[in-house]
Amino acid sequence: MSKRRPYVRSMDGWWKKNPFYVEYMIHEGTALFIVAYSIVLTFGLVRLAQGEVAWNGWLEAMKSPLSIIFHLVLLVAIAYHAFTWFKLFPLTTPPVVINGKKLESGLIVRSGWTATIVATVVSFVIVWGIAA
Amino acid sequence: MSEQKIIEIEVLRYLPESDQAPRPEVYKVPFTDDMSVLQGVQYIKDNFDGSLTFRWSCRMAICGSCGMMINGIPKLSCEAFIRDYYPKRISIEALGNFPIEKDLVVDLSGFIEKLEAIQPYIIPKEPRTVEEGEYIQTPAQFADYIQFTSCINCTLCYAACPQVGLNPDFIGPGAMALMHRYNMDSRDGGQARRMEIAASEEGVYNCSAVGYCSEVCPKKVDPGNAVNINKINAGKDYFLRFLSPKGGAK
Ligand code: SF4
Ligand code: FES
C-alpha cells in the first residue's frame, strides 16, 4: 500500500504573505476608484441631458467641500493605480524590436508615462480653450 | 581563527507516515561565508537528522531541482547564501502552491502533465525529407525565442503565482513560456494545436498579471510576458476564427 499522503497547504490570506502580493491587491483595489469616478462623470452627463437647471445643480454639488475631498482621494488612488499599471506595462506587452534590438523595459514604462502626460496636457489645453 | 558562526534554520518538516500536518523544526547550523542555504540543509541531514528529504543535483543553478521557499520567497537554494540572512533566522519550506510529498519535496506530477500538454517540441509545418537539408534560421528568427529556451523547469514561477495556488489546473507560467518558445520558432507549425490549450479554461485567462513569476525566475525567462502575449494571441485567434477556419480554439 502506498504511504503517500501529499499535503496541500491552505491559500487563506495568501495576499498578506508577500509585499509583492499586497501591492498587487492595492493595485486591483484602486481600480474601484476609477469605477467610482466614471459613475460621477456619467451622472454629470445624465444631469446635462436633463437641462440647464439640473446641470448647474450638479456643478454646484461638485464644488462642495465633501466633493472636493472625495476627488482628492480619487486622484491619489487613481495615480497609484496608474503608477503600478505602468510598472506592469512591460509584462503585458509583446516585445518591441527596433533595429534588431529589444526595447528595454524601463523605456517602455517611460514612453507610457510620456504619452499619458502629453495626452493630459493636450486635453487640458483643449478644455481650457473651450472654457475661455 | 575567527569564531564559528551559527545560523538558525527553521525547516517545515512533513513526514507523511507520522505527521498529520507539516510542523516547523529549528536547527542550529555552523556555517562559513561560502555556504549556500542548500549546503546548510545538507549539513542538517548529515549531522542532525538523516530523514530530512530534499532535492538537488548540480549545486550551480542549472538543474532546477533545489527550489524552496526561503523566508517565504521562492528561490534556488544552491544560489542563496546563508551569509545574506545571518544573523536572522532562515525559514525554509517546500515550494509553495504544490502539494508537499515529504519535507522539502513537492509533488510535481501536475506540472509534468502540463508540460506534456503544451507539446514542447517542434511540430514541423510540413514533413521535410533529409534531401531537403537542414532548416535555415536567421539570427533575428533565433532572437524571437531564445529567451524562452532558458527555462530550467525549476517551478519557482509556479510557487510565485497565486493563481496557480487558487486553481491548480492552470497551465501556469513555466509551461506557457515553453509553449511560447515553440510557437515563436520559425521551424514550428504547431501554434494552432497549442492554441487549444492556451485558450482553454486552464489557459492564459487564469492569469491576472500579478507578475511575481517573472520577478522570481532565476533565468530571466520572463514567463509572465509569455502568458500575456498569448492572451493577445488567444484573443486574435478567437475573433479571426470567424474569418478564417484555421484557428485552433474550440
Ligand atoms: S520560467 Fe523561470 S522560474 Fe519558471 S520554471 Fe522556467 S526557469 Fe524556473
Ligand atoms: S542544485 Fe541544481 S539548481 Fe540548485
Q: What is the ipTM of this complex?
A: 0.88
Cα(B161)–Cα(A21) distance, integer angstroms: 10
Mean pLDDT estimate for chain A = 93
- Split at pLDDT 50, 70, 90, the class of B43 is very high
pLDDT of residue B249: 47
- Checking if the pLDDT of B148 tops 90, the result is yes
Q: Residue A40 belongs to a domain with what CATH number? A: 1.20.1300.10
Residue A104 lies in a domain: yes
Domains B5-106 and B109-240 share a fold: no
pLDDT of residue B198: 92
Residue A9 lies in a domain: no
Residue A6 lies in a domain: no
Residue A4 lies in a domain: no
pLDDT of residue B245: 58
Q: Which ligand is nearest to the CA of B175?
A: 1
pLDDT of residue B44: 98
Burial class of residue B182 in the structure, from the number of CB atoms within 10 Å of its CB (0-12 exposed, 13-18 middle, 19+ buried): buried
Which of B225, B227, B236 is best to mutate for the A interface (most A CBs within 10 A)?
B225
pLDDT of residue B238: 82
Most confident region among A58-62, B41-45, B138-142 by mean pLDDT: B41-45
Query: If you compute the radius of gyration of chain A from its CA atoms, what whole number of angstroms results?
Result: 22
* Cell numbers given for B157: 514561477
Identify the residue whose cell numbers are 517602455. Answer: A108
Pair B36, B81: CB distance under 8 Å: yes
Domain that holds residue A87: 14-131
pLDDT in tens, B46-74: 999 999 999 999 999 999 999 999 999 99
pLDDT of residue B250: 46
Question: What is the mean predicted confidence (pLDDT) over B163-191?
Answer: 96
Task: Tell me how far apart the terminal alpha carbons of chain B are, to the nearest angstrom.
Answer: 69
- Split at pLDDT 50, 70, 90, the class of A102 is confident
- Which among A7, A95, A97 has the least Cβ separation from residue B22? A7
State the total domains in chain A: 1
Instruction: Please tell me the CATH code under which domain B5-106 is placed.
Output: 3.10.20.30
pLDDT of residue B103: 97
Question: What is the mean predicted confidence (pLDDT) over B86-108?
Answer: 97
Residue A2 lies in a domain: no
Rounded to the nearest angstrom, the minimum Cα separation between A3 and chain B is 6
The residues on A that touch B, with CB distances below 8 Å, are 3-9, 11, 14-15, 17-18, 20-21, 24, 28, 88, 90-95, 97, 100, 102
pLDDT in tens, B105-131: 999 999 999 999 999 999 998 888 899
Any idea which of B42-51, B148-157, B167-176, B194-203 has the lowest mean pLDDT? B194-203
Cα B10 to averaged position of ligand 2 atoms, centre (Å): 20
Cα(B93)–Cα(B235) distance, integer angstroms: 38
pLDDT of residue B244: 62
Question: What is the mean predicted confidence (pLDDT) over B165-173?
Answer: 96
* B109-240: CATH, from 1.10.1060.10, 3.90.800.10, 2.60.210.10, 3.30.465.10: 1.10.1060.10
- Split at pLDDT 50, 70, 90, the class of B222 is very high
Mean pLDDT estimate for chain B = 93
Domain boundaries, chain B: 5-106, 109-240
